[in-house]
Amino acid sequence: MSEKQSVIKKILFIIVTLLPMAVYMVIYMPTFFWVESLSPANGFHIIHTAADDMIPVVEVFIIPYILWLPYLVIGMIGIAVRSRTISRKTSYMLMAGMTLFIIISLAYPNKLELRSAIPDRENIFMDLIDYLHSIDTPTDVLPSLHVYDALVVAAGLHLAFSEKKALLIASDILAFLIVLSTMFIKQHSIIDVIAAIVLFIIVFVVICGKHVSGPYSRQK
């Protein structure tokens, strides 16, 4: 097999492996924006704790927050290349979490009122935060999908690349910074973060629980 044919075969393998996730996203995104557009008759439940007021704004955390999407995309492609089985399970975890997020948002419309704590500082990071806030509403934040999705991809990478210690350390550090970023730029309350972690644990145990005790072999 020529090198060109090998590359084409790998690309097709990735496409087929990630196809269920791609189809799901075609359905999910319009649903997400529809939910975001709703104005509940009884108003929104405000998500807030005293701990949120104690967390300072650290604008440099906008960087890991923005890196969330590249982390998910590159991580999912890497997992797909490594193992179709693990890729599918990781996709199922993402789909389960996002579906539950929609259900929670409809049953318990929620909102943040943390953005007033953003200081009036002049730098490129603050400009990025201001832009983010201008395009992203503070509604339907529980649980934090930024946190949930990052944890899912980090877990998928651990299952797919259990022997790649340096890779996993780098992945875990970035995932941890993404989790922190949601609070340090006032995109989420600590309640949203805790809810995402709890949801991740439940979904992970349900979908991958029987495999936790032993490493995955490379499966196509």
Give a yes or no: residue 66 inside a domain: yes
User: By residue range, what is the domain housing residue 174?
Assistant: 3-39+51-211
Give a yes or no: residue 219 inside a domain: no
Q: Report the domain count for the chain.
A: 1
Give a yes or no: residue 178 inside a domain: yes
Give a yes or no: residue 139 inside a domain: yes
pLDDT in tens, the chain (220 residues): 566 667 677 788 788 888 888 999 999 999 999 999 888 888 899 999 999 999 999 999 999 999 999 999 999 999 998 888 999 999 999 999 999 999 999 999 999 988 877 888 889 999 999 999 888 889 999 999 999 999 999 999 999 999 999 999 999 999 999 999 999 999 999 999 999 999 999 999 999 876 554 444 444 4
Q: Give dist(CA 173, CA 207) in Å, integer.
A: 24
8 A C-beta contact, residue 38 and residue 109: yes
Burial 174-192 (b: 16+ CB within 10 A, else e): bbebbbbbbbbbbbbbbbb
Give a yes or no: residue 90 inside a domain: yes
Give a yes or no: residue 220 inside a domain: no
Nearest Cα to Cα of residue 148 among 104, 191, 98: 98
Q: What confidence score (pLDDT) does residue 148 get?
A: 97
Give a yes or no: residue 21 inside a domain: yes
Residue 155 φ/ψ, nearest 5 degrees: -65, -40
Q: What confidence score (pLDDT) does residue 4 get?
A: 62
Q: How many helices (H) and strands (E) does the chain have?
A: 9, 2
Give a yes or no: residue 79 inside a domain: yes
